Chains A and B, each alone.
Chain A
Amino acid sequence: MKTIIFKTASTYLLPLLILFSVFILLRGHYLPGGGFVGGLIASIAFVIHSFANGLEQTKSLIKFHPGFLMPIGLCIALLSGAAPLLVGQSFMTGLWFEDPLPVIGMVGSALFFDTGVYLVVIGVTLTIIFTISETL
């Protein structure tokens, strides 16, 4: 699939799709979206790039092994889930900052949990796809 049209398109699609995935991640709490879908979109961005330019190109673009995103994401999700325990609330209870931040809106522990999920999904999906396409 190394046509010039696809190659050129993928260079522009990559940043667009990643931006879109962040948008999906941030609108997730009250509207359709969230970390899981956002993570899948972000990993699709990289998969399209690897289809167009080859696996090695994408790997050198990412710089580190995507598997490292898994512990980082899990760590963020776990900490945001366990944070309510420090104030004597149940696990996973939503804690919210008083005032909304500009652009992002209300920020709470749910956002951090979703961010964790987002990173884990990118890490897992890219690891699976890279591993399978390497061994094929």
Chain B
Amino acid sequence: MELLLVILIGLLYASGIFMMLRRSMVKLIIGLILLGNGANMLIFLLGRIVKGKPPIIESSAKMLTEIYADPVPQALILTAIVISFGLQSFAIILVKRAYKITDTDDLDELNTTDEIYE
């Protein structure tokens, strides 16, 4: 399971960075989304994977005695997913607006900011 996740994370990072390096704005956003997903999976993996042991304390016991799944990484991932949902929806709308205004999907055409002498 760990090995599978490691390969998956590597693929997500690699494809995310590859997509970011393309010249298209839409591919840039897809790359950022893949990169964010890779980071989330990395948190999940590095929080150590424990199968079928939820961190719930029995009503008869005071504390957990056996090995248990760490709940913190899941909380972190949930937070990160919600945040990246907001950021990515903003980025997608921004790209859509930029496409409408500049009429191009090519990042190399975005030169207006270098030409402002006013």
Residues of A within 8 A of B (CB): 36, 128, 132
Contacts and interface: CB of A to CB of B under 8 A. Distances in A.
Contacts, number: 3
Nearest to A132: B93
Contacts of A36: 82
Interface residues of B, number: 3
B24 interface: no
Interface in B62-93: 82, 89, 93
3 contacts: A36-B82, A128-B89, A132-B93
Interface string B89-102: 10001000000000
Interface of B: 82, 89, 93
B64 to A, nearest CB: 17
A7 to B, nearest CB: 29
A125 to B, nearest CB: 10
Contacts of B93: 132
A36 B89 CA distance: 18
A14 B89 CA distance: 26
A49 to B, nearest CB: 22
Nearest to B93: A132
Contacts of A132: 93
Nearest to A121: B82
A132 B96 CA distance: 11
B76 to A, nearest CB: 15
A128 B89 CA distance: 9
B65 to A, nearest CB: 22
Nearest to B92: A132
A105 B41 CA distance: 37
Lowest 3 A-B CB distances belong to which pairs?
A128-B89, A132-B93, A36-B82
